[in-house]
């Protein structure tokens, strides 16, 4: 088979798996698990084959036009360069791990068939985005991911949090998708094609008339999909979905799509230095803000969600300094360790029976209950905090190195301002990342108090994938940073000495400060008892998690926050803690700015409809009703009245007839 | 005999019957008034038949034949009418036409509950008035 055929099969197999799973889920439940796991595994194997055949050489391009569609042709095209090949492998690995993990995590879930099919569809849509060489085909995958995230985040739709979160995820990403669509049309209007290769060719010859406008419109869609400020608010709330879905959304699909899209079309963004500065500012605000917010979260998954936002900030930061190699390198290593973090967090939540760090910090021996999750999560957190030699170190240093490269005067592709913004915020975020990673680890695994409840061992399917993902989290960066430039643009990804020392030093400072604060506050934990655990600890992990999410607000007063004086984050953030816990009141601002006006406009429309439009309708009905009431009075039921009227009529007719006959 | 006598008599009879139909409240008296009107017509038919047969060479006396026909119909009609009146009387305990108002327009489909007692009171009032005038 040619590389093109293989590449077409990669997104097609999970799609067929999803269709078969949805069709057979009810009638043949025995086939559901194979149908969920095998197509995804096959797609992974094929993606690896495609990557091997492509080998970082010239891009593989193929296109076929099904039917003429008017002015700008839409073609079914694949465009596989080194970025596409490697990102597809990452998507395949993470999706396969998530599917295998889900068979254990949701083993008793009655909605598992539809869940597994939607995960397959999600995977297939992401693979379509990755391989597509045509922007409209890419948009199809992009939107399918939007609707899949809506269904999967709302998997526990019995809980109001999940319902609200799924609608929020859908609406916020759609808010970005509208400008994105307009941007795509504007881009096609300027360059005359939806094909990525043709667009890049046109851009190289200066064929773009409105670069800033197009870049900003596309950025809006990317901000929505990749959860960048100011459209990031859906991502922490999306934690109301099952943990494997969070792993899938955060590591490989959905949020990665935005970054990947900019990486593909980076020359378009490079033509506008204003767009690059906007991208840099967006990345800086996202990074720093999410780091502070992550330090104040109580839900273990919300900490990870904010950390995803921050790491995506690193990727957009790398794109803002025009180094897509560094961005995709960080995307790959982040995909591995973030998937691992979420899957391990799922195991921890199952074992602890709660998703609250405050409650976990009052449990002794939680790490002995989940040894696999403990060790792998330690590896992943070290990777997240960018401690050498874990993979996160190399990818993050490549981003910081690229920013430093631009800020020291190499401004052919990106303005120096963007370089400085990304560099400084990146260093600050390195400090914050290490701080919240340390806080999470200390609170979850170094708790003191009563023994953690024993809910038995995790299923093998849930622990094996953790070790599978621990390998790339540990070694991906160190082994590949010399090889990857051949696959990417050829730019060096080796860490530079200055940023490595600065970044690692700041990370160590962050970790040590958090440790000191934790030593200081942990004595308080014994004095303030806190915590609620799931009502059905013997259920499968999905049930435990759904109950933990549903009980967080009643138990602690807020979905993101716990009144825990023993929290080191509270000491570190000081007066900022409360606003950081609620995401710097951004939801309240949106509520005041958008939700309330929309609701007020809706009530105005309702008033106009009920009181103004309906007044005419009711008036049109009232006149005939009054006439009818008047005529009805004649219907007395008395036969003699009727006969009298008959007589009167006859007389009148007779007189008239006589008058006519006599000609009077 | 001049034609005017039977014509005037039949007109008087018809008017009496008409008044009875319109004004009497007892259903049996109304039926009797209907008979009066029919017979006024019969009288006319016979009188004009005789008047016409004086001038005509040959006649079939179709007026008189029609009279016989009308009498037969009237007999059947009064039989059915009285049977209905009997049945009504047995069911309702009355054969007062003013009280048989089942076909009256009730409160309208959009009428609220408060309309119901009002219209009932109205019909009761009308019935009282009719009784007083009868």
Question: In this structure, how many other beta carbons lie within 10 angstroms of the beta carbon of residue A510?
Answer: 26
Least confident of A309-323, A477-491, A616-630: A477-491
Using the Cβ of B132 and the Cβ atoms of chain A, whether some distance falls under 8 Å is answered with: no
Domain assignment present for residue A450? The answer is yes
Burial class of residue A540, CB neighbours in 10 A (0-12, 13-18, 19+): middle
Stretch A591-614: mean pLDDT? 91
Structure tokens at B134: 């009868």
pLDDT at A533: 60
pLDDT at B133: 52
Which of A73, A79, A64, A149 minimizes the C-alpha distance to A115?
A149
Please report residues of B whose CB lies closer than 8 A to that of A644: 22
Domain assignment present for residue A260? The answer is no
Least confident of A318-327, A561-570, B108-117: B108-117
Beta carbons of A640 and B123 less than 8 Å apart:
no
Rounded CA gap, A581 and A640, in Å?
A: 86
Q: Say yes or no to pLDDT of B7 above 70.
A: yes
Stretch A112-130: mean pLDDT? 90
- A443 & A569 share domain: yes
Rounded CA gap, A400 and A205, in Å?
A: 30
Domain assignment present for residue A368? The answer is yes
Domain assignment present for residue A104? The answer is no
Nearest beta carbon to residue B108 from set A629, A643, A647 = A629
Please report residues of B whose CB lies closer than 8 A to that of A632: 105, 108
Q: Cβ distance B70 to B63 under 8 Å? A: no
Instruction: Give residue A664's pLDDT band: very low, low, confident or very high (50, 70, 90).
Output: low
Q: Say yes or no to pLDDT of B118 above 50.
A: no
Please report residues of B whose CB lies closer than 8 A to that of A638: 97-98, 101, 104
pLDDT at A500: 84
Question: In this structure, how many other beta carbons lie within 10 angstroms of the beta carbon of residue A169?
Answer: 27
Q: Is the preceding peptide bond at A312 cis, omega within 30 degrees of 0?
A: no
Q: Say yes or no to pLDDT of A567 above 80.
A: no
Structure tokens at A615: 């007044």
Rounded CA gap, A241 and A545, in Å?
A: 9
Rounded CA gap, B25 and A237, in Å?
A: 82
Size of chain A, expressed as the number of residues it contains: 664
CA A22 to chain centre: 23
pLDDT at B39: 94
Where are chain B's structural domains? 4-104+114-133
CATH topology of domain B4-104+114-133: Helix Hairpins (1.10.287)
Average pLDDT along chain A = 84
Q: Who's near A485: CB < 8 A, 6+ residues apart?
A: A325, A491, A492, A493
Beta carbons of A625 and B123 less than 8 Å apart:
no
Rounded CA gap, A429 and B129, in Å?
A: 97
- A510 & A656 share domain: no
pLDDT at B119: 47
Q: What is the pLDDT of residues B46-74, one digit of tens each?
A: 999 998 888 877 888 888 999 999 999 99
Rounded CA gap, A194 and A209, in Å?
A: 16
Rounded CA gap, A634 and B109, in Å?
A: 17
Q: Which of A550, A565, A584 marks a domain boundary? A: A584
Q: How many domains does chain A have?
A: 3
Which of A174, A322, A180, A173 minimizes the C-alpha distance to A255?
A173
Instruction: Give residue A5's pLDDT band: very low, low, confident or very high (50, 70, 90).
Output: confident
Q: Say yes or no to pLDDT of B26 above 80.
A: yes
- A454 & A600 share domain: no
- A297 & A333 share domain: yes
Q: Is the preceding peptide bond at A230 cis, omega within 30 degrees of 0?
A: yes
**Could you tell me which residues of chain A have a Cβ less than 8 Å from any Cβ in chain B?**
625, 628-629, 632-633, 635-640, 643-644, 647
Q: Say yes or no to pLDDT of A131 above 70.
A: yes
Helix or strand or coil: residue A621?
helix
Range(s) of the domain holding residue A655 = 638-664
pLDDT at B11: 95
Q: Say yes or no to pLDDT of B113 above 60.
A: no
- A534 & A554 share domain: yes
Sequential DSSP letters for A16-85? HHHHHHHHHTTT-GGGHHHHHHHHHHHHHHHHHHHHHHHTTSSPEEEEE-SS--SSS---EEEEE-HHHH
Rounded CA gap, A545 and A315, in Å?
A: 30
Q: What is the pLDDT of residues A401-421, one digit of tens each?
A: 888 888 887 777 778 888 888
Rounded CA gap, A235 and A169, in Å?
A: 7
Average pLDDT along chain B = 81
Stretch A374-388: mean pLDDT? 87
Top pLDDT among A492 and A77 is at A77
- A522 & A655 share domain: no
Please report residues of A whose CB lies closer than 8 A to that of B21: 640, 643
Domain assignment present for residue A244? The answer is no
Which of A607, A589, A596 minimizes the C-alpha distance to A230?
A589
- A426 & A571 share domain: yes
Q: Say yes or no to pLDDT of B107 above 80.
A: no
pLDDT at B73: 93
Percent of chain B whose predicted confidence (pLDDT) is above 90: 49
Least confident of A131-140, A433-442, A583-592: A583-592
Structure tokens at A604: 């105005």
């Amino acid at each position: 088979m040619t590389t093109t055929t293989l590449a077409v099969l990669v997104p097609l197999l999970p799609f067929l798996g999803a269709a078969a799973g949805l069709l057979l889920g009810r009638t043949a439940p025995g086939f559901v698990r194979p149908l969920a796991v095998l197509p995804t595994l096959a797609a992974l194997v094929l993606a690896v084959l495609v990557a091997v055949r492509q080998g970082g050489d010239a891009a593989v391009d193929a296109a076929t036009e099904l039917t003429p569609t008017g002015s700008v042709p839409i073609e079914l095209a694949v465009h596989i360069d080194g970025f596409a090949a490697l990102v597809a492998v990452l998507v395949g690995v993470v999706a396969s791990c998530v599917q295998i993990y889900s068979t254990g995590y949701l083993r008793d879930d009655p909605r598992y068939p539809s869940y597994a099919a939607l995960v397959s569809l999600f995977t297939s849509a992401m693979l379509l985005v990755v391989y597509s060489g045509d922007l409209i085909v890419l948009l199809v995958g992009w939107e399918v991911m939007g609707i899949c995230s809506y269904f999967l985040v709302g998997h526990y739709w019995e809980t109001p949090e999940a319902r609200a979160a799924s609608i929020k995820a859908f609406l916020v990403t759609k808010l970005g998708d509208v400008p994105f669509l307009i941007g795509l049309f504007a881009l096609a209007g300027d360059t005359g094609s939806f094909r990525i290769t043709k667009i890049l060719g046109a851009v190289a010859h200066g064929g773009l008339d409105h670069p800033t406008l197009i870049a900003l419109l596309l950025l809006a869609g990317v901000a929505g999909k990749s959860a960048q400020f100011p459209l990031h608010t859906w991502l922490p709330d999306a934690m109301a979905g099952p943990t494997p879905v969070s792993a899938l959304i955060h590591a490989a699909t959905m949020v990665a799509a935005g970054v990947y899209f900019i990486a593909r079309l980076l020359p378009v963004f490079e033509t506008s230095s204003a767009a690059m500065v906007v991208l840099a500012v967006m990345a800086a605000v996202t990074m720093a803000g999410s780091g502070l917010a992550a330090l104040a979260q109580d839900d273990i998954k919300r900490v990870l969600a904010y950390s995803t936002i921050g790491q995506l900030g690193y990727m957009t930061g790398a794109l803002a300094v025009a180094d897509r190699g560094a961005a995709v390198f960080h995307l790959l290593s982040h995909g591995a360790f973030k998937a691992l973090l979420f899957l391990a967090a799922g195991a921890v939540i199952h074992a602890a029976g709660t998703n609250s760090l405050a409650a976990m910090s009052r449990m002794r021996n939680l790490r002995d209950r989940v040894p696999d999750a403990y060790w792998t999560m330690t590896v992943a957190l070290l990777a997240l905090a960018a401690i050498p030699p874990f993979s996160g170190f190399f990818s993050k240093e490549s981003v910081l190195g690229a920013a430093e490269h631009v800020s020291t005067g190499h401004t052919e592709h990106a303005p120096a301002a963007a370089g400085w913004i990304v560099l400084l915020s990146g260093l600050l975020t390195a400090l914050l990342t290490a701080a919240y990673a340390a806080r999470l680890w200390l609170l979850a695994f170094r708790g003191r108090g009563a023994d953690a409840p024993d809910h038995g061992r995790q299923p093998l399917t849930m622990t094996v994938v953790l070790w599978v993902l621990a390998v790339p989290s540990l070694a991906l960066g160190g082994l590949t940073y010399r090889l990857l430039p051949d696959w990417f643009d050829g730019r060096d990804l080796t860490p530079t000495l200055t940023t490595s020392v600065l970044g690692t030093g700041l990370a160590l400072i962050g970790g040590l400060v958090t440790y000191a604060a934790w030593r200081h506050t942990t004595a308080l934990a014994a004095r303030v008892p806190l915590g609620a655990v799931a009502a059905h600890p013997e259920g499968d992990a999905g049930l435990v998690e759904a109950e933990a999410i549903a009980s967080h607000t009643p138990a602690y007063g807020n979905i993101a926050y716990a009144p825990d004086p023993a929290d080191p984050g509270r000491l570190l953030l000081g007066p900022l803690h409360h606003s950081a816990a609620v995401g710097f009141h951004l939801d309240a601002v949106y509520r005041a700015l958008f939700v309330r006006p929309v609701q007020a406009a809706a009530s105005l429309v309702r008033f106009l409809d009920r009181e103004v439009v309906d007044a005419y309708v009711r008036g049109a009905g009232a006149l005939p009703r009054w006439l009818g009431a008047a005529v009805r009075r004649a219907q007395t039921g008395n036969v003699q009245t009727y006969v009298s009227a008959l007589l009167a009529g006859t007389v009148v007719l007779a007189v008239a007839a006589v008058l006519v006959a006599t000609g009077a | 005999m001049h034609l005017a006598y039977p014509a005037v008599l039949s007109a008087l009879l018809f008017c009496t019957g008409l008044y009875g139909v319109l004004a009497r409240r007892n259903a049996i008296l109304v039926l009797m008034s209907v008979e009066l009107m029919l017979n006024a017509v019969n009288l006319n038919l016979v009188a004009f038949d005789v008047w016409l047969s004086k001038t005509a060479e040959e006649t079939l006396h179709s007026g008189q034949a029609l009279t016989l026909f009308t009498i037969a119909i009237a007999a059947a009609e009064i039989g059915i009418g009285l049977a209905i009146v009997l049945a009504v009387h047995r069911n309702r305990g009355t054969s007062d036409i003013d009280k048989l108002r089942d076909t009256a327009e009730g409160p309208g489909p959009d009428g609220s509950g408060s309309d119901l007692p009002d219209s009932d009171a109205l019909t009761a009032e009308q019935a009282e008035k009719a009784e007083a005038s009868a």
